[in-house]
Structure 1
Amino acid sequence: MRCSAYLRPLLGATAILALLLVANASSATYQAGRDLQAAVDGAMPGDTILVGPGVYDKVEITKSITLIGDGARIRPGDRNIGIRIAADDVTVSGFTVEGGSYGIHLVGSNNCTVSNNTVTGAVQWGIGLISSDGNTIRDNVANYNGLGPHRWYGIYLSRSNGNQILDNEASHNGEYGICLFPSCSDNVISGNVAVGNKYGVYAFTDCNDNIIARNRLDNNEIAGIKLIGGCIRNHILENEISENGVVGIFLQTGSGYNIIRGNEIAKNQLFGVQILEGPAGNNTIFENNISGSQRGIVVNTDGNHIYNNRIFDAVIPAEDRGTNQWYAAYPVGGNFWGGHIGTDEMSGPGQNISGPDGFIDLPYVINERARDIYPIMGESVHPIQIVRASVHPARAQIGTQVTVEVALESVNGVAQISARARNLLVSSDPIRPITMYSSGEGVYTGTLQTALMGAGRYAIVLTVKDARGFELVEEMGEVEILPRSGRDFNEALSSAMGR
């Protein structure tokens, strides 16, 4: 309720006091005019301002109000802030902010809600929280911000704690989709999408005890998630992290005591998980699916505990340059290694009791210091598999052409393929190359010329490399070469050369 200026001269002092008390005890909802800042300045704490379709100038909020846009666009100009919030308990929802130095900017503001806004084209960050605690940033789109030479962010937190960053999209920004720097703790970063940035989620310098969960972080130039500079005790949980240009999850420079659990980390170009530099270490990495990278997990710090992960479709599944443990105490066990084949006939902590227990009896060896003593049984998973192979004829006289054919399944395509014939009885006999050609739909065919070969049994060895560098070398069959029978050498040679 408002005390109209036109009524005030008609009221006595007692009536005026009564109306003021009522006004202070309740809130009003009203429609803003063309001058949005004037509407905000004239509002009382607790009021709601509705902003209809149209283009508006920058606005600054310094009191606890609710600002609701319906088709409203804020265009502040390059050097200004679109919506600046400098008060507690403010709600801003439903706006499109285009351009400005910052889009929506909270400074020293607590317990605010910023929801269902679209912020794009800001010179620096789209949505920023500076020394602001306990806020909810939800269901916003912060795309294509910070695209200038300095490369800035979609959503930015600085010295801000206990905030909820939920279900936002922060994609195609200059540097980071969501950035925490420095000293941001106890925040929840959940349900967000960060695609096409340099980094999806980036935390730098003493950002501790945050939860980064259930986000989709794909196709970023370098990493899905990076923690650097002593970021400790964070929980990285159940994220989908795929097809990033270098690494899925990257911990660096003293970022330790973090938990990485239940993430789907797939097809990141070089590394699934990489932990480098600094003494912190002591991260716990478990129950993740890590696949499709050149290297699955690489660590060069100490004290990390890595178990119950599925690591497969990697050229090098694990690389350990420190002192780390790759299994949990029996019967929790170690990791599933997609290319590790073995038997499960024994059980017990020492694998010396008769009977299976779901672990391969022999350890998986990473290097001379690191091994998984309880590798988990499972169907072997290879990036390249031979579906079928044939060598025809299986017995051929010298001078006869032998056709070699193989059908392949390759997760990452076939970059190179070749075959060779190796004499099984005479080791000094030279290797005979076989050029393979694609016949379509994953089938490759080659011809073994036998005119210059000696009699004997030969193994046909196939070599295939995929686009990520994984190499399969496997025997695909044998052929027996028989001595000539009633044919002259020159005739056989001419036949082999198509004359």
Structure 2
Amino acid sequence: MRTSAYLCRLFGATAILAILWIISTSATTYQAGSNLQAAINEAAPGDTILAGPGVYDNVEITKSLNLIGTEAKIRAGERNIGIKIAADDVIVSGFTVEGGFYGIHLVNSRNCTISNNTVTGSVQWGIGLVFSDENRIENNVANYNGLGGEGWYGIYLSNSNRNLILNNVASSNGEYGIALFPSCSENVIRGNVAEDNDYGIYTFTDCDDNLVMRNVLSRNKNSGIKMIHGCSDNQILENEISENGVVGLFLQSGSGYNLIRGNEIVDNPVFGIQIQEGPDGNNTILENNVSGSQKGIFVNSDGNHIYKNRIFDCVIPAEDRGVNQWYAAYPVGGNFWGDYIGSDEFGGPGQNVSGSDGFADLPRVINERARDVYPIMGDAILPLTLVDASIFPARAQIGTQVTVTAVIDSKYGVPQMSARTKSLLRSSGRTQYIRMDRSEEDVYVGTLQTALMEEGRYKIVLTAKDSKGYEIEEEIGELELLPRSGWDFNEALSQQL
């Protein structure tokens, strides 16, 4: 039983005896005054403190209690902690925390719930868990933290395990939206949005057995997800990873034995998925959509298993610098390749049984040692294709101007296009180049001057390159040049000499 001048002022002398009796027998809910720390100090374990609209100083919680804010704001100095929690079974909800060295900081805490808070402007992390297990961080906004160069995190876990990080927004922070470093295991990171950071989700050094699922990770300057230095046995499932500055998903330096499944990895300009460095590979990559990157899947380690993915609209769909398998045993099959045009007339494990089975009859070759034995059939998805072409006239006398026309279907636009001649009779014949200019949408026209050419048959070869780097080179037809009537090129040339 305790007496308190603070409680007397808050509730009045008449009510204090009843409140003290309640405190002695059960948890109590009461309204805090302007001194929030005093209310916390006076509360008993299990009590609920309600903080109404207003601005409060930073607080520290060292006992189990519930701190619930309504339009309540904590404003902390840059070397203070907005809300420090060093106890188990604490609930903090409904606060806006501005400034502070850390925003909301849990240390050696277990079974706490941090929900529906907004944390901005902290020097280091917005919400941090250090040596804290089995906590729930839910429906918070942790934006614009770590912008001063001293720290970098929206939400940060260090040596913390079995926590649930659910439905938070961690965007526009100095470096990381959500970061785990080091030794964080069995955490669930689900349903969060991390945009406009340097990295969306970042795990560093021995972060294992975590579930990263259904997060939205977009427009981060470097990566949507990066795992580095021995981060293994994680599950990366069903995330939307798009428009990040370099790479969608990056595993580096011995981060192996991870499952990467069902992710939408779109429009990351350099790599969709990049696995690089270190002895460990053995990641399983399946059922992902990878598109819109310079290199769809880049692998520089061994033992990775890659199958049932859709890889399309990538300049280089796959690059394998290790020893990896790009298909599963029949009848599971390989991957869909947007640039692969094959036939399906045979089936079976050896693709030698009459009748189609949904897999192309010939492998999709990646390099001299890597191939997809069972490429999945489907309509080719090509960002740059030649729709139609013509040569007019296709048979003409020397000196005639020949018009070359090409119709190109391009997703990204074609700033460069040209055509050239290739003699069918003379291997050393002089090549004539044709400038192709755009005359209307998707239509390009060029003129071949034949006055200095020799009679014979020529192939016309078209080359087009779009603004993203896709390039096609196709033979579009033949031109037959006839000698001028009553005139011989070699005789005329010898007379001039």
Structure-1-length-normalised TM-score: 0.91
Whole-angstrom distance in 2 between the partners of 1:384 and 1:25: 75
Alignment partner, residue 154 of structure 2: 154
Alignment partner, residue 286 of structure 1: 286
Alignment partner, residue 445 of structure 2: 445
Deviates more, 1:386-395 or 1:269-278: 386-395
Write the mapping of 1:396-411 to structure 2, written as runs, cut at 5 A.
Answer: 396-411=396-411
Cα deviation 1:309-328 (Å, max 9, x = unaligned): 11122222222222211110
Query: How far did 1:308 drift?
Result: 0.8
Identity, % of aligned pairs? Answer: 68
Query: How far did 1:32 drift?
Result: 2.2
Cα deviation 1:58-96 (Å, max 9, x = unaligned): 111222222222222221011111111112222212222
Whole-angstrom distance in 1 between the partners of 2:249 and 2:141: 24
Alignment partner, residue 393 of structure 1: 393
Alignment partner, residue 495 of structure 1: none
Whole-angstrom distance in 2 between the partners of 1:9 and 1:292: 70
Cα deviation 1:306-359 (Å, max 9, x = unaligned): 111111222222222222111101000111122122211111111121111111
Write the mapping of 1:242-391 to structure 2, written as runs, cut at 5 A.
Answer: 242-391=242-391
Alignment partner, residue 492 of structure 1: none
Whole-angstrom distance in 1 between the partners of 2:54 and 2:406: 65
What secondary structure, in the 3-state scheme, does the structure 2 residue paired with 1:194 have? strand
Query: How far did 1:160 drift?
Result: 0.8
Whole-angstrom distance in 1 between the partners of 2:441 and 2:48: 63
Give unpaired runs (5+ residues) of structure 1: 490-499
Query: How far did 1:295 drift?
Result: 1.4
Deviates more, 1:335-344 or 1:65-74: 65-74
Write the mapping of 1:426-465 to structure 2, written as runs, cut at 5 A.
Answer: 426-465=426-465
Whole-angstrom distance in 2 between the partners of 1:59 and 1:91: 14
Query: How far did 1:105 drift?
Result: 0.8
| Paired AA for residue 403 in structure 1 | T
Whole-angstrom distance in 2 between the partners of 1:184 and 1:10: 51
What secondary structure, in the 3-state scheme, does the structure 2 residue paired with 1:451 have? coil
Query: How far did 1:296 drift?
Result: 1.6
What secondary structure, in the 3-state scheme, does the structure 2 residue paired with 1:55 have? strand
Alignment partner, residue 59 of structure 2: 59
Alignment partner, residue 493 of structure 1: none
What secondary structure, in the 3-state scheme, does the structure 1 residue paired with 2:386 have? strand
Alignment partner, residue 494 of structure 2: none
**Contact 2:22 / 2:28 at 8 angstroms: preserved in 1?**
no
Query: How far did 1:10 drift?
Result: 9.8
Classify 1:276/1:169 alpha carbon distance in 2 versus 1 (closer, same or farther; 3 Å): same
What secondary structure, in the 3-state scheme, does the structure 2 residue paired with 1:41 have? helix
Classify 1:48/1:482 alpha carbon distance in 2 versus 1 (closer, same or farther; 3 Å): farther
Whole-angstrom distance in 2 between the partners of 1:26 and 1:159: 35
Classify 1:131/1:477 alpha carbon distance in 2 versus 1 (closer, same or farther; 3 Å): same
Query: How far did 1:423 drift?
Result: 2.7
| Paired AA for residue 434 in structure 1 | I
Query: How far did 1:225 drift?
Result: 0.9
Classify 1:478/1:56 alpha carbon distance in 2 versus 1 (closer, same or farther; 3 Å): farther
Whole-angstrom distance in 2 between the partners of 1:113 and 1:409: 54
Whole-angstrom distance in 2 between the partners of 1:19 and 1:177: 44
**CA-atom RMSD in angstroms:** 2.6
Deviates more, 1:125-134 or 1:361-370: 361-370
| Paired AA for residue 258 in structure 2 | N
**Contact 2:125 / 2:151 at 8 angstroms: preserved in 1?**
no
**Contact 2:345 / 2:356 at 8 angstroms: preserved in 1?**
yes
Write the mapping of 1:143-292 to structure 2, written as runs, cut at 5 A.
Answer: 143-292=143-292
| Paired AA for residue 196 in structure 1 | D
Whole-angstrom distance in 1 between the partners of 2:303 and 2:139: 38
Classify 1:222/1:5 alpha carbon distance in 2 versus 1 (closer, same or farther; 3 Å): closer
Deviates more, 1:383-392 or 1:298-307: 383-392
Number of residue-to-residue matches in the alignment: 485
Query: How far did 1:436 drift?
Result: 1.9
| Paired AA for residue 37 in structure 1 | Q
Classify 1:19/1:101 alpha carbon distance in 2 versus 1 (closer, same or farther; 3 Å): closer
Query: How far did 1:19 drift?
Result: 7.1
**Contact 2:109 / 2:133 at 8 angstroms: preserved in 1?**
yes
Classify 1:393/1:30 alpha carbon distance in 2 versus 1 (closer, same or farther; 3 Å): farther
What secondary structure, in the 3-state scheme, does the structure 1 residue paired with 2:125 have? coil
| Paired AA for residue 300 in structure 2 | N
**Contact 2:202 / 2:227 at 8 angstroms: preserved in 1?**
yes
Query: How far did 1:482 drift?
Result: 3.7
Whole-angstrom distance in 2 between the partners of 1:47 and 1:151: 34
Query: How far did 1:468 drift?
Result: 3.1
Whole-angstrom distance in 1 between the partners of 2:474 and 2:174: 46
Query: How far did 1:384 drift?
Result: 0.9
